[in-house]
Structure 1
Amino acid sequence: MKGKLFYLGLIVMFVLSAVGHFAHWDMTVQFILSAIAVIFVAGFLGKATESVAHYAGDRVGGFLNATFGNAAELIIAFFLIKEGLFETVKASITGSIIGNLLLVLGLSLFSGGLKFKEQSFNARLGEHNSTLMIMAVIALFVPAVFVGAEHFTVKKDQTLSLIVAGILIVSYLLWLVFSMITHKDMLADKEMKPDHEEEPLWSKGKSVLFLVVATVMVAFVSEWLVHTLDTFTHKFGLSELFVGAFVVAIVGNAAEHSAAVLLALKNKIGGAVEIAIGSSLQIALFVAPVLIFVSAFMGNTMDIVFTPIELTALGVSVFIASSVSRDGRTNWYEGFLLLMVYLILGVAFFLV
């Protein structure tokens, strides 16, 4: 019954969002409809990914969930770049990273911790993830300092951004080789065993088909949502920073929210951590750099220089998430602490 209601809601909200966009309804109404539609479509994307993950295995499943869960953010960012809204793009990148590290991971640890006194996962994976997160912050911190201190020309700024973006993409691709091929066994989560009692929602072919359909639906709804952002931001006096870092990021992270929390409640905290931290790493090391190259191909290169506020938010998020996940053991209080840091940042961003 719940499943039927979800799919009915998915179809209704998608159609209403489409009608609102093409019939030129009030921008606020369009924004609300599109935001709700993105959440439903992201949920559908999450279900399709989870079904595919049943056939692909836990580690690959977590990677697929993070990848297709990030499809919403990537597509939203693509249309933002097309509109020339670079500051909103960078704010949404910041919001996606801190949203995954603090909100998604925090909710997962908190929910799982209330049901199980302590949960554990592969500590080596936690250590490697922490190192990669620190590397991502360094890669974003260095351009901001050098461009600001040395007053680089626009050409030098863009050159540095493209080079750093290329290095990050190579680092991420080699991390996939390291974690899934050469050191796969060392980083495997012994706590996560396949759940043979659970049947996948759909067959393998249908799962892949629905994954493609969900991604296409995300693309349409994301474009409709972006179309409303400028008007919505000005109407309610919100900064691009807050809208990008929290509104767009929370909507785009809907797929990760549901999948990670459900895994934590099944005592599969390793899968939840893989989704939350893996998604943040993918945004920082792959999605953001790819967007730099996409903007360059469009003829107007977006730089990789983030504001001091964004770098501070990223730095504190990585610091506490690294502290919590490094030892491979979690509890509800650690999840609560992550959520409190997210709340502090949310209030600060809102007041900007």
Structure 2
Amino acid sequence: MNPLLEEIRRTPLFWLLVLVPVVLVAQLLRPEAHTLLFLLSVAAIVPLAALLSRATESVAAKTGDLLGGLLNATLGNLTELLIALAALRAGQYVLVKASIAGAIVTNSLFMLGASLLLGGLKYHIQEYNRDSARLQAGMLFLATIAMLVPSLLAAADNAASAAFTHSLSVSLSVLLIVTYGLGLAFSLKTHRELFVSKDHHGSEEEEWPLSLALGTLAAVTVLVALVSEVFVESVQQAAVALGITPAFVGIIVVALVGGAAEMVSAFAAARKNNLDLSVGIALGSAVQIALFVAPVLVLASYLLGPTPMDLQFWRGAVAMMLIASVTATFVTSTGRSAWFVGALTLTVYIIFAITLYLLPPQT
């Protein structure tokens, strides 16, 4: 247990873990204080996400590249997945779809753009593996196409029936999961030599014992699930009180909070001139959401949700995801970057954020 306690002692972010019991107690004593519960749950999820990411890194480091990649695929976005599952059980499909779109947009624009900007402010020119970035951006574009098709059919003059839309969504979900598995096999096994980093940077953190990492992973997963329930129950009323909508909360707030731990890692790597890691985290996380988390949620809705969920997004969300994937493709196509490239990428994200705040998308 000493490595965990030492990590908490020397990492100020983990001191916010004290908010976890505060949130759970507040839920019991003041269940009607929706705004307070919303703010506390958001603040509590951030250190839990960071601890979850830290434990996942330690487990993946001891299992080899292929299994480690699979672990990162399933656990790297576990915070967002648990929040979305809680919303799924509550039937808040607007929040679920907003969180999916928000994670894709935030990771491929905000996380990527901020990494390029922060790294570029320290280094004149930075380089990274163009092949790896192209693969991730291509997979992300594929996923946005899969989400575009049901939305286009629903908007057509001869609107497709609900049964057809659900059947199409299930078929596309299975296809996306298979595609993601093939992408992992391609990059981690059959053609791994194409994806070697420009520079090798070893881990500067001491890995935890496997038993401690697994125990922490299990405990934090339970806590994230509990706090996510509080978040989902309070978000609608809190959004009204704060003058925002659940769609804005899902696309902006949930994505920023759920990806906080990954963002810290990506930004730190960029400042150390390890842009391969930064780009890999940003695009890899977006791909995980699009090709793994989103289709899993569609399939899980048949077991957990009050009604089945489909891949039909409102037009504004589809447009943002498509623009984000195209922007990420253009930005990472050269394998080189400077600070202004990051600033331009961030500008696209800020445009979306301002638009959503002033005129939220309609469902």
TM-score over 0.5 (shorter chain): yes
Residue of structure 2 in register with 1:334 after alignment: 341
The whole-number CA distance in structure 2 between the counterparts of 1:327 and 1:30 is 45
Q: Give, as a single letter, the amino acid of the residue that structure 1 aligns with 2:173.
A: A
TM superposition shift of 1:63: 6.7
Bigger mean CA offset, 66-75 vs 247-256: 66-75
Bigger mean CA offset, 93-102 vs 145-154: 145-154
RMSD over aligned CA atoms reads: 2.2
TM superposition shift of 1:312: 1.2
Structure 1's unaligned 5+ residue stretches are none
Bigger mean CA offset, 325-334 vs 85-94: 325-334
Asked whether the equivalents of residues 84 and 99 of structure 2 are also in contact (C-alpha less than 8 Å), the reply is: yes
Q: TM-score, normalised by structure 2?
A: 0.90
Structure 2's unaligned 5+ residue stretches are 1-5
TM superposition shift of 1:201: 4.9
Asked whether the equivalents of residues 41 and 214 of structure 1 are also in contact (C-alpha less than 8 Å), the reply is: yes
Residue of structure 2 in register with 1:282 after alignment: 288
**Pair 1:236–1:122, CA change in 2 (3 A):** same
- Identity among equivalent positions (%) equals 37
TM superposition shift of 1:31: 0.9
The whole-number CA distance in structure 1 between the counterparts of 2:338 and 2:110 is 15
The whole-number CA distance in structure 2 between the counterparts of 1:272 and 1:43 is 16
The whole-number CA distance in structure 2 between the counterparts of 1:159 and 1:117 is 50
Residue of structure 2 in register with 1:160 after alignment: 168
Bigger mean CA offset, 206-215 vs 268-277: 206-215
The whole-number CA distance in structure 1 between the counterparts of 2:29 and 2:14 is 22
Of 247, 259, 262, which aligns to 1:241? 247
The whole-number CA distance in structure 2 between the counterparts of 1:268 and 1:64 is 22
Asked whether the equivalents of residues 86 and 225 of structure 2 are also in contact (C-alpha less than 8 Å), the reply is: no
Matched residues, number? 350
Residue of structure 1 in register with 2:133 after alignment: 126
Q: TM-score, normalised by structure 1?
A: 0.92
Asked whether the equivalents of residues 104 and 257 of structure 1 are also in contact (C-alpha less than 8 Å), the reply is: yes
SS class of match (1:257) = helix
**Pair 1:19–1:107, CA change in 2 (3 A):** same
Q: C-alpha offsets along residues 169-202 of structure 1, whole Å, 9 cap, x if unaligned?
A: 111111111111111122222423434xx34153
Superposition map of 1:84-123 within 5 A: 84-123=91-130
The whole-number CA distance in structure 2 between the counterparts of 1:267 and 1:62 is 23
The whole-number CA distance in structure 1 between the counterparts of 2:291 and 2:205 is 34
The whole-number CA distance in structure 1 between the counterparts of 2:50 and 2:38 is 18
SS class of match (2:262) = helix
TM superposition shift of 1:46: 2.6
Superposition map of 1:21-100 within 5 A: 21-25=27-31, 26-55=33-62, 64=71, 67-100=74-107
**Pair 1:62–1:170, CA change in 2 (3 A):** closer
Residue of structure 2 in register with 1:18 after alignment: 24
Asked whether the equivalents of residues 59 and 188 of structure 1 are also in contact (C-alpha less than 8 Å), the reply is: no
